[in-house]
Structure 1
Amino acid sequence: MQETAATAPQTGRPALILASSSRYRRELLERLRIPFDTAVPAIDETPQPGETPEATALRLAEVKARAVAAALPVGTGRALVIGSDQVATFDGHQIGKPGTHERALDQLRAMRGREVLFHSALSLLDTATGQTDTVDVVTKVRFRDLPDAALDAYLRAEQPYDCAGSAKSEGLGIALLEAIESDDPTALIGLPLIALTRMLLAAGYPLLAPQEAQP
């Protein structure tokens, strides 16, 4: 595991582990100003036959959390493991990460002037009980009807080839969007922080505890 916070968890705080290799999720979790580690879950992320986008996202979020929890060393104290997965769907089909400029341009061409649903699933596993709290946060995104030249210029400027939907709403990609509808503005970026903070507080994590005085 890689520790991404400046200090180890304070006494009485369970360890917090983000089961993800995504830099976007790591950057979002850093907004909460709490110590956490990251671990990459070794799982197969292929959708199962006949599986809905929502079911895929929910299943993979929990599988990621359980895979990382199962790999913790024997004797590890209580930990809260965060699993998350996002599946975009358009015309009933799942949209993956484009990987290349050409595929990203094809995605944006198909989606212009249309609505895309993003299922951002979140699962918090408590190793003390083995129980998970799992939720799917849905974001509706309507893309602007822009010409090929504008779509190509955007892709060359931001190169969002590791993003499902081929646009970064937190960056220049916002210019491609007509509207975003969601209960959680961070869900579209990859980690629903409103849902996560609710889960952490329900698990007894001292998210808003007073800071210890420095000597």
Structure 2
Amino acid sequence: MHPNGQTPANLILASSSQYRLRLLNQIGLNPICIAPEIDETAHPHEHAITIATRLSEEKARAVAVNQSNALIIAGDQVCDVNGVILGKPGNAGRAKQQLEHCSGQEVIFHTGLCVFNTATNTMHRHTEKVLVHFRHLSDREIDSYIKKEPAFDCAGSFKMEGLGISLFSSIRSDDPNSLIGLPLIKLCEFLRLEGLAII
């Protein structure tokens, strides 16, 4: 129970991402999924961590407009390669360009998290950083990966929970789940604060 006695009736994931939903299912949660309608364009000279933090909050607020008694979970991820921001590639050509750009580089992934209790107007925010060092990838490896696992809807063009792990030499993070889409350790903490115990 929330400290003020109000526990929201609905648990909502402000996303259409199958990856984020799968992470929530993994910890026993079955939220309603509502895709937020927001402009995800970065502001001029906006840093990657700021984008991830801002957009996760904007997604939660966009869904909250029509939800007076809900606990809303929202996230956003930004991929930063030496100051260059990589979005979702959308097709094989762009995926190849992204993986060539990441080859041999340390890539920073910023994953924003926002948990918004609309019943109490309480908001929790956190942005997790994951450092991924990519191996030096040959053209053959890149082409083979794209053919076997076309991750066109993922920033950076890979799926860590699948074959994407073979592209890396190391990962540094307090919560590797962040690389898939949500920092689950921090999320569980926020849910406990809002009276929703996972165990």
Instruction: State the TM-score, normalized to the length of structure 2.
Output: 0.93
Q: Which of these residues, 170, 179, 200, is aligned with residue 191 of structure 2?
A: 200
Q: Which of these residues, 108, 111, 126, is aligned with residue 117 of structure 1?
A: 108
Q: Does the CA contact (< 8 Å) of 2:8 and 2:119 recur in 1?
A: no
Q: Which of these residues, 46, 49, 55, is aligned with residue 54 of structure 1?
A: 49
Is 1:165 matched with 2:156?
A: yes
Larger radius of gyration between Structure 1 and Structure 2: 1
Q: What is the distance in 2 between the residues matched to 1:35 and 1:23?
A: 12
Q: Which of these residues, 6, 10, 13, is aligned with residue 15 of structure 1?
A: 10
Superimposed CA distance per residue, residues 44-94 of structure 1 (whole angstroms, 9 cap, x where no aligned partner)? 00011121110100000000001101122xxx5x31101100000011121
* Stretches (4+) displaced over 2 A: none
* Aligned length, in residue pairs: 193
Secondary structure, aligned partner of 1:187: helix
Q: Which of these residues, 104, 120, 124, is aligned with residue 95 of structure 2?
A: 104
Q: Which 5+ residue runs of structure 1 have no aligned equivalent?
A: 1-11, 209-215
Q: Which of these residues, 170, 173, 191, is aligned with residue 182 of structure 2?
A: 191
**Aligned residues: CA RMSD:** 1.2
Tell me the residue number matched to 1:79.
Answer: 70
Tell me the residue number matched to 2:4.
Answer: none
Instruction: State the TM-score, normalized to the length of structure 1.
Output: 0.87
Is 1:154 matched with 2:145?
A: yes
Between the aligned residues of both structures, percent identity stands at 45
Superimposed CA distance per residue, residues 101-160 of structure 1 (whole angstroms, 9 cap, x where no aligned partner)? 111111111111110000000000011222210000000000010210111100010001
Q: Which 5+ residue runs of structure 2 have no aligned equivalent?
A: 1-6
Q: Which of these residues, 70, 84, 87, is aligned with residue 93 of structure 1?
A: 84
Q: Identify the range of structure 1 (30-39 vs 100-109) with the bigger mean alpha-carbon deviation.
A: 30-39
Q: Does the CA contact (< 8 Å) of 2:24 and 2:30 recur in 1?
A: no
Secondary structure, aligned partner of 2:51: helix
Q: What is the distance in 2 between the residues matched to 1:85 and 1:13?
A: 23
